[in-house]
Amino acid sequence: MNKRKIIEKLMLGVISTLAVISAIPIFAIMFNVYAEGLKHVNLSFLIDLPPPPVGDRVGGIGPALVGTFTLVSLAMVIGGAIGFFTGLYLSEFSHTKLSQYTQMFLQIMVEFPTIIIGLFAYTILVAPIKRFNALAGGFALSIVIIPYIALNVREAYKSIPYTLKEAAFSLGVSAPVAYLRILLSTARRGVLTALLIGMAKVAGETAPLLFTILGTTFTYFGGLDQPINAIPLLIYNFALSPYERWHQVAWGAAAVLLTIILLIFIVSRLIVKEVKL
């Protein structure tokens, strides 16, 4: 008995230590981003055009902010929907060949360097219309997001106890009702996390955007068939330049991006309460 208690204390200690270790870099980076970034952020920073590398104008990230909202919305609508239903299928019809192959391919797709997906979108949506455009970026991000959402959703549905699934169907409701109302309400936390993880992932992606949306300096939004900017793209370009002004804007942009996503996380998680089984 005593030995078991000691092992318990020891192992809980090990788990907590490892958890803390894995969280240290998270906090270190967040601390860096906020310490460097927040001092540059104010209302005009959110609205203004990006500044030239030297000169008086402090500037802001207006076009990039609008662009990221647009692109992430596109990715969530297209990729989110496909990903969610794919994940549902993978979980509930896991015995089919289609399910097995799709799951395998989606797992491999996570490995594709995302720049390749950007180039794919370039071939399909940029080259034919002879213009870089927002839709191509949204399409590329949708592709990036699908495996993350599908695989996470699959796990969320799979974690519903079998007895509950049986109970849901024994109510005599149709399949859509059973999956999308009863079971979804059970798996809602996991599904929400799947969507949030996917959203977070694409909100920070640079590589698929390089050859799809081009980026803009003066245009906030010119239509889905026109170039657009995005926060990660702006950070990428500015952080790697030698100029102090651009470094400041890059840090500020990172702080804004993190804050927006954190807010979406907190609000949506407050609304969707955890299910206790």
Partner 1 sequence: MGISKKPLIIVIVAIVAVLASASMIAMSLIQSTMTQATTTKPPEISGIVNGAGATFLNPQMQAWASKYYELTKGRIQVNYQSIGSGAGQAKFREGVLDFAGSDPPLKADIYQEFKEKGGIIQFPIIIGTIVIVHNLPNVESGKLKLTGEIVAKIYLGEIMYWDDPRIKELNPELDLPHEKIIAVHRSDGSGTTRVFTAYLAKVSEEWKNKVGSDFTVSWPVDQLGNGVGGKGNEGVAAAVKQNPYSIGYVETAYAYEVGLKTALIRNRDGNYVLPTRETVESAAKALVQILPRADEDWSNVFPDETVDAPGRESYPITSYSFIILRQVYDDPVKVAILKEFFHWVLTEGQKDENVVRGYEPLPPEVAKIGLDGLELLRTA
Partner 2 sequence: MSSGKIFYNTLTFLVFISLFIVIAVVISLSVTSYPIFLRDGLFFISKSVWNPVKEEYGILPALLGTLITSTLAVGLATPLAISLAVFSAEIVPPRFRALINNISDLMASLPSVIYGLWGLFILAPILNEYIMIPLHRYLGFIPLFSTKPVPTNLFTASVLLAIMIVPFASSIIREAYSAIPYYLKEAAYSIGLTRWEVIKIAIGYVKSAIFAGLFLALGRAMGETVAVAMVVGNIFNLPKSLFDMGYTIPSLIANQFPNAEAYNYMVPALYGGALMLFLIGLVINFFGLYLIKKVMIKS
Cβ–Cβ < 8 Å for 228, 71:
yes
First CA to last CA across the chain, in angstroms?
30
Query: How far is residue 41's CA from residue 260's CA, in Å, rounded to a whole number?
Result: 13
Instruction: Output 66 or 144, the one with its CB closest to partner 1.
Output: 66
Q: Is 221 left (phi over 0), alpha (psi -120 to 50) or beta?
A: beta
Contact status: 252 vs partner 1 (CB under 8 A): no
Q: Which does 153 bind (CB under 5 to 8 A by kind): partner 2, partner 1, none?
A: none
Binding mask 143-182 for partner 2 (x = CB under 8 A): x--xxx-xxx-xxx-xxxx------------xxx--x---
Contact status: 138 vs partner 1 (CB under 8 A): no
Q: Which does 195 bind (CB under 5 to 8 A by kind): partner 1, partner 2, none?
A: partner 1
Contact status: 212 vs partner 1 (CB under 8 A): no
Burial of 271 (0-12, 13-18, 19+ CB in 10 A): exposed
Residue of 41, 106, 149, 210 interacting with partner 1 (CB under 8 A): 210
Which of positions 231-260 make contact with partner 2 (CB under 8 A)?
A: 231-232, 235-236, 239-240, 254, 257-258
Stretch that binds partner 1, among 10-18, 23-31, 43-51, 145-153 (CB under 8 A): 43-51
Of 141, 123, 134, nearest in space to 78 by CA = 141
Contact status: 82 vs partner 2 (CB under 8 A): yes
Query: How far is residue 38's CA from residue 21's CA, in Å, rounded to a whole number?
Result: 26
Binding mask 92-131 for partner 2 (x = CB under 8 A): -x----xx-xx-xxxxxxxxxxxxxx-xx--x--------
Contact status: 204 vs partner 1 (CB under 8 A): no
Cβ–Cβ < 8 Å for 49, 62:
yes
Cβ–Cβ < 8 Å for 58, 51:
yes
Of 272, 56, 94, nearest in space to 184 by CA = 272
Cβ–Cβ < 8 Å for 134, 67:
yes
Chain residues in the site for partner 1 (CB under 8 A): 47, 49-55, 57, 62, 65-66, 69-70, 72-73, 76-77, 80, 126-127, 130-132, 164, 180-182, 184-186, 188, 191-192, 195, 199, 210-211, 214-222, 227, 237, 240-244, 246, 264, 268, 271-273, 275, 277
